[in-house]
Chain A
């Protein structure tokens, strides 16, 4: 990924590798599913660590006040997070996979060449964001990192608690999401 830059009109843009677009689309789709599954009246669900970090207790020492706060805010917050994640997906363009990264995707990929190998579009993809889209991206990248951090059991010092092969891949994704977000912050903060 090339760094985000802001032009004179305030539009922020960067070039993404096709595989990065696929990756971001994939993790954001998963976040959308998670958010859509949240029942804000289900106390047990809200207590799950990943959900709890997305909707923290506003009154940590007063469960009653915290529940009251949730009653008034949780649905709206989830709605906002869903809208932001949807905006991120929309900015990535159509949902044709650029590259089939795993065999499950390959079966649905129509772009198979004579060699039997998937046809890749090797060209970087321009991602162009206006101001509202930038806000949606910043928030969604945060939500993604919060959920992934829970998956990796990242401790208070920022160290992942899991170090198996899968988790190392997920940790790379976590760091990459942070890089994208930081690049976006620098582009609009400059």
Chain B
């Protein structure tokens, strides 16, 4: 199916010019200590950075916790769902 291959390639080429982001949303259930722990242990950020991201989620309702290609962001979102966090994918803003 060369036509499909071609269109897929074009789509992927287009997607290269704008990265994707992993967004974690505030929810009333997850504890602040747990959310910070997840950011630290999964993304390997420092305790201070994990705390900053957690507070951003808490105060702003959401935080971008990772930026990159779509496949990597889908992997992160899946991992966040495994931890019970409310995470989504989006296009990075221009």
Contact = CB atoms under 8 A, between A and B. Distances in A.
- Chains A and B form a bound pair: yes
B84 interface: yes
A154 B33 CA distance: 19
B33 A146 contact: no
Interface stretch (A41-49, A105-113, A163-171, A179-187): A179-187
B81 A56 contact: yes
Interface string A119-162: 00000000000000000001100110110010000111110000
A181 B31 contact: yes
Contacts of B82: 77, 80-81, 139
A57 B78 CA distance: 10
B88 A189 contact: no
Contacts, number: 73
B57 interface: no
B88 A59 contact: yes
- Chain B interface size band reads 10 to 19
A178 B30 CA distance: 8
Contact of A185 (B31, B78, B81, B84): B31
B28 A55 contact: no
A167 to B, nearest CB: 16
Nearest to B83: A139
A54 interface: yes
Interface in B1-53: 27-31, 33-34, 37
B28 A157 contact: yes
A38 B60 CA distance: 33
B63 interface: no
Interface in A47-83: 53-60, 69, 73, 76-77, 80-81
Interface string B81-93: 1111011110000
Contact of A156 (B28, B31, B81, B83): B28
Interface of B: 27-31, 33-34, 37, 74, 77-78, 81-84, 86-89
